Amino acid sequence: MAKNIVIVGAQWGDEGKGKIVDILTKNADVVVRFQGGNNAGHTVIVNDEKFVFHLMPSGILHKDKACVIGDGVVVDPEVLVGEIEVLEEKGIFNGDNLHISKNAHLIMPYHKRLDISKERLKGKQKIGTTGRGIGPAYEDKAARVGIKCGDLLDEKLFRAKLKRNIAEKNHYIQNVLHQVGFETHEIYHKYMEITEKIAPFIKDTSFFIYKAMMEKKKILFEGAQGTLLDIDHGTYPYVTSSNTTAGAASVGSGIGPTRIDKTIGITKAYTTRVGEGPFPTELDGKEADRLREHGGEYGATTGRPRRVGWFDALALRYAARINGLDGLVITKLDVLDNLKKIKVCVGYKYNGKKITDFPTEASVLNACTPIYETHEGWLEDTSRIKKFDKLPEKAQRYIRRLEELSGVKAVMISVGAARDDLILIKNPFSR
Ligand code: IMP
C-alpha cells in the first residue's frame, strides 16, 4: 500500500487539484502543502457550498485530518487568519489540526507592493503575476533576508528583522518607485496582533510529519500551481517563484525523497493558462469563448479569464518525466461533452521540422506551431457517470489516447465540480 503520495499539477496550474486532494484526504491522515502561497486558489464544492482556499491545505475541510503548511510555503498571515475565520464561522476549524512550519517565510506588505509595482515597470515584459507578493517573498528568502513564521514568536528578533528590511525596501520604494514607504511600527503591531491568533500552530512541521510517518500514517503532499510554472522546469521566465514539481515535496516539507511512494499528476482534458507566456495550443475567438464559458475558466484567485486551448500531449509527457508520474487524474472531461471535434496536439512544427519533445524556452515555444490529431466528440452528457466503461466509447478512446501519448495511466476522471462527480479507476493509496 502506498502511504505517502504527492499530487502535482501537470500543466500551468488550475487543473482541479483542490477537489482531488479533498477526495484523497479521506484516505490520508495528514495533508501537506509544500510550496507556493496564496497565489494558489483551490476550489472545493461540498453539499453545494463552494469553498475557495488560497493557503490552507485543501484537506482542512476534514476535521480529523492534520493539515500542514510546510517549510517551502510563503505565508501571508493576514490571508491565513482570514481563512481560519471563515472556517471558524462554519464550525469546521477546531484549532488542533493546523500546523504551520516555523521555517515558512512570511509575505510582508512590502512584498505585495513590490510585486505589483515591479510588474507595472516591466510593461510588455510583465509575467502577469497574481500580485500577492510571492516573487518578492521568495527573493528575500534566497537573498537570506526573509522573515520566517518562527520569527513571529520572538518579538525582538521580528522587530529587528523588520526594521532592517523596511530600511532596505523603503530605499527602493521611495527612490526608484517614487512611492510612500512603509512604517516599521505599523507592520509590527499588525503582525503581532496576527501572531496571537496563529502562534499555537507554528512549529517544527518536518518533525511532525516524520513522527506521523513513524506511526505509519498516510501523508498526502498537495502541490500548488503546475509543472510548467516551476521556476527551474517551467516556461521561464513566465513561471512562479517556487518549484512546483514533485521533488519539491521533499525539500518543501523536510522529509527525505526516499519516503515518497507515488506521484500523481492532475491534468485537464484540455489546457488553460493564466498570466503571460507561451501557450502553443491556445485558442482564440468564439472557440475559446465557448470552452472558457463551459469550463468556467476564470481564476479562483484573481478572477481573471483564463486562456484556453487544446490538450498538449508534449507538455503532459514532459510533466510525466519531470515528476516521475505514476498516475494521472484527468479533470473536466465533461467540459468537452458538447464539442463535435476535439483536437490533441501530438507534435510541434519548429523551424520547418517536427518535434515531439516539449521545449521549455519561451522563445522556442513561441515559434512552435502545434500539429494536431482530431478526435470525434461524443456529444453526450458524461457528468453523472461513475464508471469508466459507462463513458461513451469515443470518450473512452479519447482518455486511452491521452494515456498512450503521456505514457501514464489514468487513475481517476473528474466529470463535474462536486465531490462525487468522479470516475475512480484505481485509488492511488492502494498498491
Ligand atoms: P505569481 O506566482 O503570483 O508570481 O505569478 C507567476 C505566474 O504564475 C503568473 O502567470 C500567474 O498567473 C501564475 N500562477 C500563480 N499561481 C497560479 C495558480 O495557482 N494557478 C495558475 N496560475 C498561477
Looking at the structure, tell me whether residues 295 and 256 fall in a common domain.
no
List Cβ neighbours of 399 (8 Å cut-off, separation of 6 or more).
330, 333, 388, 391, 410, 413
In a domain, 49, yes or no: yes
Last residue of a domain, one of 178, 197, 216: 197
Residue 171 is assigned to a structural domain of this protein: yes
Specify if 342 maps to a domain: yes
Same domain for 241 and 297, yes or no, is: no
Query: Per the residue annotation, which of 22, 29, 42, 230 is the catalytic one?
Result: 42
Please check whether residue 431 lies inside any domain of the structure. no
Residue whose Cα lies nearest atom 10 of ligand 1: it is: 275
Q: How many residues does the chain have?
A: 431
Q: What is the mean pLDDT of residues 187-193?
A: 98
Task: Kindly compute the dihedral angle of the four CA atoms of residues 189, 194, 198, 202, in this order, to the nearest 10 degrees.
Answer: -40
61 pLDDT band, cuts 50/70/90, is confident
CATH (domain of 413): 3.90.170.10
Q: Residue 299 — pLDDT band, cuts 50, 70, 90?
A: confident
pLDDT in tens, 340-351: 999 999 999 999
Q: Is the CB of 406 under 6 A from ligand 1?
A: no
Domain identity same for 176 and 259: no
Alpha carbon nearest to ligand 1 atom 2, residue: 240
Active-site annotation holds for 42: yes
Averaged pLDDT for residues 105-123: 97
Catalytic residue (one of 14, 22, 76, 421): 14
Q: Are residues 82 and 191 in the same domain?
A: no
Residue 79 lies in a domain: yes
388 in the same domain as 280: yes
Of 36, 11, 91, 1, the closest CA to residue 325 belongs to: 11
Cβ distance 153 to 77 under 8 Å?
no
Q: Do 297 and 151 reside in the same domain of the chain?
A: no
Q: What CATH number corresponds to the domain at position 141? A: 1.10.300.10
Q: Which has the higher per-residue pLDDT, 253 or 48?
A: 253
- Assess whether 349 and 405 both reside in one domain: yes
375, 380, 382, 385: CA torsion to nearest 10: -120
Cβ of residue 225 lying under 6 Å from some atom of ligand 1: yes
429 is a domain residue: no
Q: What is the mean pLDDT of residues 244-266?
A: 97
Grid cell, residue 429, equals 493509496
**Ligand 1 near 128 CB (within 6 A):** yes
Residue 219's CATH number: 3.40.440.10
Rounded to whole angstroms, the Cα distance separating 413 from 425 reads: 8
Percentage of the chain beyond pLDDT 90 is: 88
Peptide bond into 237 cis (omega under 30): yes
Same domain, 21 and 138: no
- Residue 36: the pLDDT is 98
Residue 418 has pLDDT above 90, yes or no: no
Distance CA(350)–CA(212), nearest Å, equals: 49
Ligand 1 centre to CA of 71 (Å) is: 20
* Mean of pLDDT over the chain: 95
- In terms of domains, do 333 and 215 share one? no
Residues 162-173: pLDDT tens digits? 999 999 999 999
pLDDT at position 304, please? 87
Number of other residues whose CB lies within 10 A of the CB of residue 131: 16
Q: In angstroms, what is the span from residue 130 Cα to ligand 1's centroid?
A: 6
Q: Are residues 240 and 387 located together in one domain of the fold?
A: no
pTM: predicted TM-score of the whole model, two decimal places: 0.96
* Domains: count for the chain: 3
Q: Is the beta carbon of 333 within 6 A of some atom in ligand 1?
A: no
> Could you say which of 197, 221, 236 is where a domain stops?
197
Among 197, 228, 253, give the residue marking a domain's end.
197
Same structural domain, 206 and 153: no
Calculate how far, in angstroms, residue 297's C-alpha sits from the geometric centre of ligand 1: 14
Domain that holds residue 61: 4-104+199-263
Tell me: do 218 and 302 sit in the same domain. Answer: no
- CB of 127 within 6 A of ligand 1: the answer is yes
Sign, CA dihedral 52-20-202-166, equals negative
In a domain, 75, yes or no: yes
* Ligand 1 pocket member 25 (CB < 6 A): no
Flag whether 430 is in a domain. no
Cα 284 → chain centroid = 25
